[in-house]
Chain A
Amino acid sequence: MHELSLVTSIVETVVETLAALPDSSGSARVLEVRLRVGALASVIPESLEFCWGIVSEGTPLEGSRLVVDVLPVVVHCAPCGQDATLDGMQSFRCPRCGELCAEIRQGRELEIDSIEIDDGEVKP
């Protein structure tokens, strides 16, 4: 439900990053933004994509692709002494031994992983 504010924050962060790049020409454009979104982050990738075009309009991100890598939940199973990837979120049990696992190792991520930029005219 708050995907619009998330997208606004992503665009702002990327614009700030571009401005702060020491070796950028100032005419750099963003081609792609890659996100890492955990399954527990309460974010719907389609909703992010829906707002993308509107929010990025008029910024160096206009026309860029938004790629969302969804990360499954990974728990740590104490009896097995190993991490385990869960298929879904209907039960936080180790798929190997069936034990309930309280420790979450992955799945809450909500971050900008990387951006692909075109530096435009690079001064010699």
Chain B
Amino acid sequence: MTTRIVELRRGILKKNDELAAGLRANYAAAGVLVLNLVSSPGTGKTAFLERTLRELKARGSRVAALVGDLETDNDARRLAASGAPVRQINTHGICHLDAEMIGKHLDGWEGVALGALDYLFIENVGNLVCPSSYDLGEKIRVVLLSVTEGEDKPLKYPTMFNSADAAVITKMDIAEPCGFDRETALRNINEIRPGIRIFETSAKTGAGMEEWLEYLAQERAGRS
């Protein structure tokens, strides 16, 4: 028996990473700013995105959204009320979106061309673990945390929070009755992802949306 060691040094997610790099190049060529929204189920990604789409449209921006869920097109129907083109991705049991799913749904999307968009939002499957491993070619990964979830969520899910480029705290309108400890939450986010931009928002009252929209405009102008 002759045995030998063969060095591979090959990424396990190489296929996804290559597809994501292709998507990233397409987004850049089209001049569209792409954001990947990740959170637990129930954080309020859809409500936050609904308001974001509506406000951006009102300001004359061209926006669209892809939304991932295991089943149902409920979220796509909610988001479509904003008037923006929205496409549902059903993963049928898969716990995250991957670059291949994004590529497929962009290709066959009738009436939507990347070049005719200013912003594309990807609402990921509600899960604070697996989506952190899958690059979708996005420029900005946004992690959302609601005031009902507990201030220690960043400490519990450091892999996701550490991979994010921006953090959004949602449901700030009910922070007080929930006993939300704002200082602790901000500190925990910063311990896990030092220096990250944090937005404190309420999709219901519109609190914090102005600052968020300003950030989007700056990122689009400066980086896309």
Contacts and interface: CB of A to CB of B under 8 A. Distances in A.
Contact of B158 (A13, A90, A102): A90
Interface of B is mostly: mixed
Contacts of A102: 193-195
Contact of A17 (B6, B12, B13, B192): B6
B190 A89 contact: no
Contacts of A21: 6
Interface of B: 1-15, 94-96, 127, 129-130, 132-133, 155, 158-160, 162-163, 190-195
Smallest CB-CB A-B distances: 10 pairs: A100-B194, A89-B158, A1-B95, A102-B194, A42-B159, A112-B8, A91-B191, A2-B130, A114-B7, A111-B11
Interface string A109-120: 011111111110
Contacts of A31: 3
B162 A118 contact: no
A40 B194 contact: no
- Chain A at the B interface: SS class: mixed
A108 B158 CA distance: 12
Q: How large is the interface on A (under 10, 10 to 19, 20 to 34, 35 or more residues)?
A: 35 or more
B191 A118 contact: no
A31 B3 CA distance: 9
Contacts of B6: 17, 21, 114-117
Interface string A11-53: 0011001000100000000010001000111110000000000
Contact of A118 (B2, B7, B14, B192): B2
Contacts of B130: 1-2, 42
Nearest to B7: A114
Contacts of A91: 191-192
B3 A92 contact: no
A101 B190 CA distance: 10
21 contacts: A2-B95, A2-B96, A5-B94, A17-B6, A17-B10, A40-B163, A42-B130, A89-B162, A89-B192, A90-B158, A92-B162, A92-B191, A92-B194, A100-B191, A100-B194, A110-B133, A111-B11, A112-B10, A112-B12, A113-B7, A114-B8
